[in-house]
Amino acid sequence: MASEFSKTCTACGFSKPLGEFHKNKNCPLGVTNQCKDCRNEIAREWKRTHRDSVQATYRKYHASEKYRAAEKLHRLKYRDRRRVQCKEWHKRHPEKGSEYNLKRKLRTLGITFAEYQSFGEVCGICGQKEPNGHRLHIDHCHATGKTRGLLCEKHNLMVGLSGDSVEILQRAISYLNGSQ
């Protein structure tokens, strides 16, 4: 028998304190008929069985102008606090920031950490190992997305500014050979 400070959940049948139920002024005792655990499980099950409609609703909302405006306001409101939090975190975890960025970049390019390590630790053009303490850049073909290897910053810029064009780079070699 439930006391005046507890209620029996209609889903699981257990008598629980009123704090274990969501508040609802329209229900007896001012709380829902199912406990929080049961209501949450019912909601999770509904989302699982209606995954397509839930995802469509999320996509529609996140693509809306209303969401973008709210997101922009939120970023502006908490920008300074977030900046301070990030700086403090990076001071406490200097090794994790660059590790996280590398893992994110690898996921974006679709390669594993083992594949990244197989490229070696030197620039594919000059053979230098992490010049000036900077991590080597992951070079990839912009047309196919295929990863080619690792390059130091200046050689990555050289290849990128040439537009990945072998002809332009060959003309540059001819130009350099002709000026000697």
> Which stretches within 93-118 are classed as H helix?
94-109, 113-118
Q: 98 in a domain, yes or no?
A: no
Domain shared by 41 and 78, yes or no: no
Calculate mean pLDDT across residues 37-49: 95
Domain boundaries, position 38 = 6-49
Give the count of domains, the chain.
Answer: 3
Domain shared by 29 and 57, yes or no: no
Q: What are the tens digits of pLDDT across the range 109-167?
A: 888 888 888 888 888 888 888 766 677 888 888 788 788 888 888 888 898 888 888 89
C-alpha dist (Å) from residue 118 to 114, 121, 147: 6, 9, 12
Query: Would the CA dihedral through 78, 81, 85, 91 be positive or negative?
Result: positive
- State the CB neighbour count (10 A cutoff) for residue 6: 16
pTM value is: 0.46
